[in-house]
């Protein structure tokens, strides 16, 4: 039978997973909200020019 406590003590996370996690969190990703904000800003600037 497995001893989960012992198995957890032996566990070492894969470095690749940690590296990917850091890369994901450190990137400034553009999402739909950012795109909509930029579109609204552009539209407001266009209306001010008219």
Classify residue 22 by burial, with Cβ atoms within 10 Å: 0-12, 13-18, 19+: exposed
Q: Give the residue extent of every domain in the chain.
A: 12-49
Separation CA 38–CA 45 (nearest Å): 11
Which tokens is 13 given? 């996370």
How far from 16 is each of 9, 28, 29, CA to CA, in Å?
Answer: 20, 20, 21
pTM of this structure: 0.43
Average pLDDT along the chain, 50 residues, taken 10 residues at a time:
90 79 76 91 90
- Predicted local distance difference test score (pLDDT) of residue 23: 76
Separation CA 24–CA 18 (nearest Å): 10
């Amino acid at each position: 039978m497995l001893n989960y406590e012992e198995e957890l003590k032996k566990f070492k996370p894969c470095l690749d997973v940690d590296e990917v996690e850091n890369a994901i969190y450190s990137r400034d990703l553009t999402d739909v909200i950012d795109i909509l904000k930029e579109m609204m800003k552009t539209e407001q600037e266009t209306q001010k020019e008219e």
